[in-house]
Amino acid sequence: MSKTIVTKLVLAVLLIGAFSFGANVLRVRASPTTWIVDDDGPADFQGIQEAINAANQGDTIFVLSGTYYENIVLNKSVAIIGESKETTIIDGSETGTVVYVNHHNIQISRFTIQRSGTQAFDSGIFLSRTENITVDTNSIINNRDGIRTQTPGSVVLKENVLTNNTIGIEIVYSSNVRVQSNRVVNSAHYGISLWHSNVSTVTENTVINDGYNGIRVASSNCNIISQNIIANNNQGIRLGNAHGNTIYHNAVSNNTMQVVLDEPFNNEWDDGYPSGGNYWSDYTGTDKYSGTYQNETGDDGLGDTPYVIDENNQDNYPLMKPWGLVSATVDISPNTLNLKSKGRWITAFIELPEDFNIESINASTILLNNEIPAVRVRESMVKFNRANVIEYILNSVDTAGKFTNVMLTVTGRLNDGTSFEGRDEIQITP
């Protein structure tokens, strides 16, 4: 072979190698891709699972409004984000788990996730042996388990609304899970359950109208349960075979049984003095004294006597009002309500103290009488479904053939977790 031919062959090999190396460098340095999913229009994909299968690690999948009848598996590090949690729906068609996650570094945001199967472990979202997961701002309804985690840690479940699930949030064989600022309503069994799970935090959640327990801690140790609203459940808090847990700054209100204990030991029911313990709606003590031993002159917002749960468990410094509660001014319209009226809304106008910005209210947390969620929120104006309010009044107030007054209470949280409450009395006519 001539020298010229050899030289050309060597040059060609070098050029091919250089091109391949450059292509590899480009692939390494390429920015993450955002894929668009639309079930009925032009987009990269029409199905969410199709997009997941095609995506690379670190990509984002943006899902436009629509109903996606899928059971999806998240098996790579991507973010899936819906256009709106009200209008971007993943429907499991009552079969299996709707969103199954078995990989690390994943975000799931702004979806309605609904209709899982009804067998054991079927869930709206199931996190299995994963880490560094964020699930936020979703509506999770009509599933067996709303969210179920079985994970070694670094999981954040935040600002989700979970409604009409058998179990709202179930933390199983997990650690280092943060459950924050969720609203869990009408769970048939448990609102939030920790089972064989340790070193986790359950904070700033609203847990109401659950069939068994608002918050259950079973065979789980060294967890923090704080700043939650736990109201109108069969059992507010239930502890079983649990120790080293700290439970404080919660508002435990109007549960059939405030606390149920099954062999718990070495748990703390307050944060010491002067931080205090929990607010208990059935606490009958007074606040005339202050100090570590409650023997100094002057009130301090803490009860003078402990709230006794049993001989081994007591809240030494029960709160006289819910923790961090901001008093709001509320004006409800109409101020005279005909129970036979056909109007659409009950409107509440909220005014916060001058140190607080009305725009800081977290709209998803607003409730009327701890029962009825706000339907529409525009800054200080909040609307509730009139039919739901009338039904509530008929079920809770003796209105037979007479005019009477009813006190309505609007509660909620600010974005920083601070609770607010305001009341207004209206007249009702039969």
pLDDT confidence band for 401 (50 / 70 / 90): low
My answer on whether 102 and 250 are in the same domain is: yes
Tell whether 245 and 384 lie within a shared domain: no
Q: How high is the pLDDT of residue 30?
A: 63
Last residue of a domain, one of 315, 342, 369: 315
| Together in a domain, 296 and 340 | no
Tell me whether residue 66 is in a domain.
Answer: yes
Question: Residues 292-318: pLDDT tens digits?
Answer: 999 999 999 999 999 999 999 999 999
Go through the chain and tell me how many residues it has: 430
State whether 263 and 367 are in the same domain: no
Q: Which residues pair with 408 in a beta bridge?
A: 424
> Band of the pLDDT at 10, cuts 50, 70, 90?
very low
Asked if residue 17 is part of any domain, the answer here is no
The per-residue pLDDT for range 71-90, each reduced to its tens digit, is 999 999 999 999 999 999 99
Supply the CATH number for residue 183's domain: 2.160.20.10
Residues 299 and 192 in one domain: yes
Instruction: State the average pLDDT over residues 171-177.
Output: 97
| Residue 353 included in any domain | yes
Give domain status of residue 381, yes or no.
yes
Domains held by the chain: number:
2
Residues 209 and 84 in one domain: yes
Query: Tokens for 52?
Result: 């997941």
Across 19-33, average pLDDT: 51
| 340 CB-contact burial (10 Å; exposed 0-12 / middle 13-18 / buried 19+) | exposed
**Listed ranges 7-11, 242-246, 336-340, 384-388; the one with the highest mean pLDDT:** 242-246
Predicted local distance difference test score (pLDDT) of residue 8 = 33
Residue 156 pLDDT exceeds 50: yes
pLDDT band at 419 (very low <50, low <70, confident <90, very high): confident
Whether 44 has a pLDDT exceeding 90, the answer reads: yes
Q: Which of 272, 289, 315 is the last residue of a domain?
A: 315
- State which of 291, 315, 339 marks the end of a domain: 315
Q: Specify if 157 maps to a domain.
A: yes
Per-residue pLDDT tens for 175-193? 999 999 999 999 999 999 9
Of residues 130, 17, 159, 145, the one with CA closest to residue 92: 145
pTM: 0.81
Residue 83, in any domain of the structure:
yes
Residues 351 and 257 in one domain: no
* 97-140 pLDDT, tens digit each: 999 999 999 999 999 999 999 999 999 999 999 999 999 999 99
**Which single residue is written with the structure tokens 């009958």?**
284
Question: In the predicted model, is pLDDT for residue 338 greater than 50?
Answer: yes
- 242 lies in the same domain as 304: yes
Which pLDDT tens digit goes with each residue over 362-376?
888 899 988 899 988
Residue 19 lies in a domain: no
- How much is the average pLDDT of 139-146? 98
Distance (Å) of CA 225 to CA 218, 243, 303: 13, 13, 20
Q: Are 213 and 127 members of one domain?
A: yes
Q: So what's the pLDDT on residue 399?
A: 66
Confidence (pLDDT) at 261: 95
Model confidence at 394, in pLDDT bands (50, 70, 90)?
A: confident
Decide if pLDDT at 20 tops 80: no
**Is residue 64 within 8 Å of residue 83, measured between CB atoms?**
yes
Model pLDDT, residue 298: 94
The vertex-106 CA angle with 412 and 414, nearest 5°, equals 15
Q: How confident is the model at residue 358 (pLDDT cuts 50, 70, 90)?
A: confident
Q: Residue type for 94, please?
A: E
- Is residue 253 located within the same domain as residue 303? yes
pLDDT tens digits for range 257-292:
999 999 877 999 999 999 999 999 999 999 999 999
Task: Give the rounded distance of the alpha carbon of 45 from its chain centre.
Answer: 30
Q: Please check whether residue 3 lies inside any domain of the structure.
A: no
Given this model, what pLDDT does residue 163 score?
96
Q: Are residues 100 and 247 in the same domain?
A: yes
Check which CATH number belongs to the domain holding 376 and give it: 2.60.40.3640
Strands of 122-250 (E only): list them: 123-128, 131-136, 139-141, 145-150, 153-158, 161-163, 167-172, 177-180, 183-185, 190-195, 201-203, 206-208, 213-218, 224-226, 229-231, 235-240, 246-248
More confident residue, 336 or 69: 69
Looking at the fold, whether 361 and 242 belong to one and the same domain comes out as no
Structural domain of 330:
326-429
The pLDDT confidence band at residue 207, using thresholds 50, 70 and 90, is very high
